[in-house]
Amino acid sequence: MMIEFGNDGAIELNFMALGLMHLIRDQKVHGIIDTTPSYNSLLVEYEPSDISDNDLKKELQKLFLSLGSVEEIEIESRLAYLPCCYLDPWTKAAIEDYCQKVKKREFDPDFVARINGLEDRHQLVRVHSGTEHWVASVMALPGCALMRPLDPRCLLTSPKYNPPRLWTPENAVCTGGMSTSIHTLRVPGGYNLIGRTPVPVYEASQNSPPFKKQVTLLQPGDRVKFIPIDAHEYKYIRQELKKGKYSFRTTDYIKFSVHAWKAWVKTLNYQERF
């Protein structure tokens, strides 16, 4: 059953989807198997032999009404610090390969900077790394989180490749539409490439401590802070990961207040860029 909270990409709609998701899990509604949030909707999987369609609707409507206004929602949220090698040689190679084999295009960071009115690729790095990014959903590509900046001044918009790339480096940091994502596997893709993180956010083997309970590092409602690093630091972290010595930097859960966030947003000067 799909519950839609609106028809646009307003981040407040995702807060509502996540608020209802947590209520469903806390109440342990009989017959509900799983929930999957998206930007403005929540998919509820259920067992029809345990709960009827009409009874499920009634339960969900009752829970939704108990949410109150979006400003009253508080969401448990972790903060993950992810190093990111912006303007890296690996995504640059993928862009150059596309230009040679498919069609010519502007270098992705320059393209994203230009269409968003930024000075250059270096300001793009400052803007993208200057805020926490809210994980709204985890896509079908394993562990690939869709994120939006919590600071609206850091919102970047860009059209996707047409046609898509033939390949994307694993753990590439990409922008497309209004979202940032981390491409977890080496597969085709259409988002614009702006960097690469050395830290895996998906691990099928579940050998590393952060993946013991689940194969994905990030979950809806998490926040991500990208920390700029250079190629030397990238290679060092990869070596530490291979040795099993790298320490994943995530905080414990805190209560994220939508009311406090909206009050903070009202104080911002939208003419300021990083």
With a cut of 80, say whether residue 274 has pLDDT above it: no
* pLDDT score for 77: 95
* pLDDT score for 95: 97
* pLDDT score for 89: 97
* pLDDT score for 68: 87
Residue pair 245/65 in contact by the 8 Å Cβ criterion: no
Please, which pLDDT band fits residue 271 given cuts at 50, 70 and 90? confident
Phi, psi of 14 (to 5 degrees): -70, -35
Question: Angle 258-266/11-27 helices, nearest 10 degrees?
Answer: 170
- The stretch 224-244 carries a mean pLDDT of 96
Please, which pLDDT band fits residue 252 given cuts at 50, 70 and 90? confident
With a cut of 90, say whether residue 140 has pLDDT above it: no
Question: Angle 53-67/11-27 helices, nearest 10 degrees?
Answer: 120
Rg for the chain (alpha carbons), in Å? 20
Task: State percent of the chain over pLDDT 90.
Answer: 87
Q: What share of the chain is helix, strand, coil (3-state, %, to 5)?
A: 35, 25, 40
* pLDDT score for 104: 96
Reported as a single tens digit per residue, the pLDDT across 144-200 is: 999 999 999 999 999 999 999 999 999 999 999 999 999 999 999 999 999 999 999
Reported as a single tens digit per residue, the pLDDT across 28-38 is: 889 999 999 99
Q: What is the DSSP string of 170-203?
A: TTEEEEEBTEEEEE-SSS-B-SEEEEE-SS-SB-
Phi, psi of 180 (to 5 degrees): -110, 140
Cα–Cα distance for residue pair 57/63, rounded to 1 Å: 10
* pLDDT score for 10: 86
* pLDDT score for 174: 97
Cα–Cα distance for residue pair 212/204, rounded to 1 Å: 10
The residue extents of the domains of the chain are 2-72, 77-266
User: Exposure of 160 by Cβ count < 10 A (0-12 exposed, 13-18 middle, 19+ buried)?
Assistant: middle
* pLDDT score for 117: 95
Length of the chain: 274
* pLDDT score for 9: 81
- The stretch 135-139 carries a mean pLDDT of 92
- The stretch 79-100 carries a mean pLDDT of 97
Give the CATH H-level superfamily of domain 77-266: Cyclophilin-like (2.40.100.10)
* pLDDT score for 242: 92
Domain 2-72 is found in CATH 1.10.510.10? no
Enumerate residues 6+ apart whose C-beta is below 8 A from 57.
1
Model-level pTM?
0.94
- The stretch 64-69 carries a mean pLDDT of 90
